[in-house]
Amino acid sequence: MRAIITFSGPEGGTSPLGSRYPLPLLPLVDRPFVQHLVESLAVQGITRHTFLLDREAEPLPSVLGDGRRWGCSIVYHRLSKAPSKGELLELITQGSEPDEPFLLGRADRLIFPPLGEKPLANAPVLFSAPQASGGPKQPVDQWTGWAVLLAAHVEGFLGKAAPGNLEASLRGLSEGTQPARTVKVSRPLRMDTFEDILAAHRAVLDKEFPTRPQGRETEPGVWIGRKTRLHSTVQLIPPVAVGDNCLVGAGVRLGPYATLVGNCLLDDHAAVSNSVVFPGSYIGPGLDLEGVIVDQKYLTHVRNGRTLLVADDFVLGSLATEPAWEPSPA
């Protein structure tokens, strides 16, 4: 089985992060979100990937390369226009055997589909999960954007589908003879909003998903990256993840649910809990952060969704001007 993954550029409610990161390249703990996706599929035995890229997805090949680091083969299709997803699928499935199954997915949604669920001749399998937030009502299951299909399902049909009607098109493939099957999965990791970003980091630190931080787990729930230096008086309250090339000063308190993605500097007596600090960020001395996302000089309070640009370099600062994802070692 191979995977066909759609990748789009900046969107969602994460401004100003979207100006620096397409959603699938937003950091999740210590590496890009989409890298977690590739690694999780490889663990499940899916090692052939085709990414469908729009114009905003140009950084992806430099991040993932050809996939050999994970024993995978990754190819990219760059698109010069915005065809319907159905037309894309017809393009990719040309030359495939009609009974060859493939996994359709989104680069900004991470699920662990039960791949034992095989499609029948006229019945695609659609994976659904509770929506991100159900409010006071019970959560409603929604399609995750992931499905298992046969090449025969899309021949001469999905090319007629409008871009926003892919789910309806997939459910109509059987044309009334055999309805598409819906299989429920756990709520996907996603990065659409600041709440999603914080929740995804908590899920990884809580080991709710097979994906894990790459750093060394020095004690249960504490991961420390390469070339990171912690003062001997630093207090670590699990779960906490400190990425590569971080410097953490005297008396700093990290956790619970503190993530320093990498290349960060925390000055003396700062405190971070239930928060994510993105690469290239400086945290000033004595600053106490809880329930926030820090991206260099931008501070977002997740609960109210407000983002502040902090002008004082002694409070928050930038150690780098551009995000730079370097390939992880094999």
d(CA 7, CA 23): 9
Model confidence at 162, in pLDDT bands (50, 70, 90)? Answer: very low
Inform me whether the pLDDT recorded for 205 exceeds 50: yes
With tokens 């598409």, the residue in question is 180
Listed as own residue / partner, the contacts of 265-273 with beta carbons closer than 8 Å and 24 or more positions apart are: 265/319, 268/231, 273/237
User: Tens digit of pLDDT for each residue in 315-329?
Assistant: 988 885 444 445 444
30/6: higher pLDDT: 30
Please give the domain boundaries of the chain with CATH numbers for all domains. 2-190 (3.90.550.10), 213-318 (2.160.10)
Q: pLDDT (tens digit, 9 = 90+) per residue, 81-123?
A: 665 656 666 666 766 776 778 888 888 889 887 776 665 555 7
- Alpha carbon of residue 252 to chain centroid: 29
Evaluate if residue 198 carries a pLDDT over 70. yes
Count of other CB atoms within 10 angstroms of residue 210: 12
SS3 label, residue 271:
strand
State the Cα angle at 172 between 167 and 176, rounded to 5°: 150
pLDDT 10s digits, 49-65: 988 887 666 778 888 99
Please check the confidence at residue 252 and state whether its pLDDT lies above 80.
Answer: yes
d(CA 205, CA 223): 9
Strand partners for 258: 240, 275
Name the token pair of 180.
């598409």
The stretch 135-162 carries a mean pLDDT of 67
Q: Can you tell me the distance from the alpha carbon of 118 to that of 149, in angstroms, rounded to the nearest whole number?
A: 8
Residue with tokens 């609960």: 303
CB contact set of 302 (below 8 Å; sequence gap of 6+) = 194, 195, 197, 198, 291, 292, 293
Residue 86 has what pLDDT? Answer: 60
Highest average pLDDT, of 11-25, 44-58, 73-87, comes from 44-58
Give the HSE-up count for residue 69: Cα atoms under 13 Å, Cβ half-sphere.
14
